[in-house]
Amino acid sequence: MVIKVLFVCLGNICRSPTAHGVMAAKIQQQRLGARIGVDSAGTSDWHIGRQPDSRTIACAKRGGYDLSTQRARQVCKEDFAVFDYILAMDNNNLRELQQLKPTGFSGHLGLFLDVLTEQPLREMPDPYYGDGAAFEQVLSLCEAACDAWLARMLAAPKGA
Ligand code: 4NP
């Protein structure tokens, strides 16, 4: 049984590619590749086919993550038939996903940062118009939240 997780933001060039790359690295380090699959997408069609933002790639690289092979895509209705966990970066992304969600979806659709109950942010701050510190903040939140989601997903493989 493979658990599939999809990270979703607006452009699929900053926040969700970071979560995608961090989760992929953790899956590899913990030898979970046969049990967990990961992908990312954007609610918009603005950057389809492009690499993550160069600032996102550079920040992740400093942390030891390679995002350079990722390409942006737009989330679609069919994703709900594939993924068990669909995790939105902010409330706007979540609203769009709730509108797209077919009635039969039985997985988990929610906010990525909801798993980090000990810190106050429920939404991942958008770093696109921010500085280097904004990208660093995204990366460190992704690292903490991916650890927490991995533990939760292994305990409840099919969402809920
Ligand atoms: P992301 O960030 O949703 O984390 O990929 C953004 C990327 C692009 C834009 C906004 C946010 N944009 O306005 O093009």
Q: What is the pLDDT of residue 20?
A: 98
Confidence (pLDDT) at 160: 58
Distance CA 115, CA 101 (A): 21
pLDDT of amino acid 156: 84
Ligand 1 centre to CA of 24 (Å) is 21
- Burial status of residue 98 (CB atoms within 10 A of its CB: 0-12, 13-18, 19 or more): exposed
- Report whether 124 contacts 51 (CB < 8 A): no
Whether the Cβ atoms of residue 122 and residue 133 lie closer than 8 Å to each other: no
- Looking at the chain, the whole-number percentage of residues with pLDDT higher than 70 is 99
- The yes-or-no verdict on residue 54 having pLDDT over 70 is yes
53 counts as catalytic: no
pLDDT band at 44 (very low <50, low <70, confident <90, very high): very high
Enclosing H/E stretch for 30 = none
Which residue in 15, 84, 90, 146 is the catalytic one? Answer: 15
10 — pLDDT class (breaks 50, 70, 90)? very high
Residue 158: pLDDT band by 50, 70, 90 thresholds? confident
- Please classify residue 157 by burial: count the beta carbons closer than 10 Å to its beta carbon, then call 0-12 exposed, 13-18 middle and 19+ buried: middle
9 is catalytic: yes
Residue minimizing CA distance to atom 7 of ligand 1:
11
pLDDT at 1 exceeding the cut of 80: no
96 touches ligand 1 (CB under 6 Å): no
pLDDT tens profile 95-145: 999 999 999 999 999 999 999 999 999 999 999 999 999 999 999 999 999
Q: Does ligand 1 lie within 6 Å of residue 10's CB atom?
A: yes
